[in-house]
Amino acid sequence: MKARGKAGAGRGRKGELRPAAGRFDPRLRLLTLALLVGAAFLVVAAGPLLFIPISAGLTVALFPGPLLAGASGLLFGTALGTPVSIVSATLGATMAFSLSRWWAHDAVEALAGPRLSALRAWVGRRGFLSVLYARIAPGVPYSLVNYAAGLAPVLLRAFVAATAIGVAPRAFAYTALGGSLGNLRSPEAIVAVVVLVGMAVLGLALARRDLRRARPGPAPQAQAGSKS
């Protein structure tokens, strides 16, 4: 009887252990969930932190900015990708400016062609406004302006401020387009196209006004001769 009782007790203990072994421990489930959430957070947080220096370095290497902004939108979406694109473009421009101004001034000046020399003279005339116009106007080479500004008498803080302000609308537009590649008819893509068109029109208007102001007026002798 005692043996049977012990055997029955053993079976009872085994019967109690079987369900416990078959069940998923709630503590292990919570730990797994916490690890997954932590890993997702690290990916989201580390992604932009890795993208920003890489994109800035490619900007220094004259890589097209619209492609970098589009890649930011494709990877992080419009909401997160837009500030990432702005920071990346501004940091890359500042690095190129510093390279041209302090780190490799003589090399950049020796390699400067007529196009860079013309940009240098144009940027040097009005400083902040010239850099801002260059960021807004279509067709102005973004990367060359960075190096030209480094050779021109432009303050670093003025260059950074003008770059951050001027690049923001285009950064949003290209980032939104990159994030909307699967649906170019989405509201984000439509707004992005509208912003690009509006920036082009505004940039042309500002450039036209700047050219008018830069034109020399008629000489006094010519004016006197026309009156006589």
* pLDDT digit string, tens, across residues 56-87: 999 999 899 999 999 999 999 999 999 999 99
Using 50, 70 and 90 to split pLDDT, how confident is the model at 17? very low
pLDDT recorded at residue 220: 47
pLDDT of 14 > 70? The answer is: no
pLDDT recorded at residue 184: 83
On the 0-12 / 13-18 / 19+ scale of CB atoms within 10 A, 224 is: exposed
Percent of the chain residues topping a pLDDT of 90: 34
Check: CB of residue 123 under 8 Å from CB of residue 154.
Answer: yes
pLDDT recorded at residue 147: 84
pLDDT recorded at residue 163: 94
pLDDT of 190 > 90? The answer is: yes
CB atoms within 10 A of CB 135: 24
Greatest Cα-to-Cα distance within the chain, rounded to the nearest angstrom: 140
How many Å apart are CA 4 and CA 12, to the nearest integer? Answer: 12
pLDDT recorded at residue 223: 47
* Overall pTM > 0.85: no
pLDDT of 1 > 60? The answer is: no
Both tokens assigned to 37 = 């959430």
Using 50, 70 and 90 to split pLDDT, how confident is the model at 24? low
Chain mean pLDDT for the chain: 78
Residue 111's SS3 state is: helix
pLDDT recorded at residue 172: 95
pLDDT of 162 > 90? The answer is: yes
CA 72 to centroid of chain Cα atoms: 7
Tell me the per-residue pLDDT of 210-222, one tens digit each, with 9 for 90 and over. Answer: 666 655 555 445 4
How many residues would you count in the chain?
228
Please state the rounded mean pLDDT for residues 170-192. Answer: 91
How many Å apart are CA 30 and CA 32, to the nearest integer? Answer: 5
How many Å apart are CA 122 and CA 76, to the nearest integer? Answer: 36
pLDDT recorded at residue 217: 52
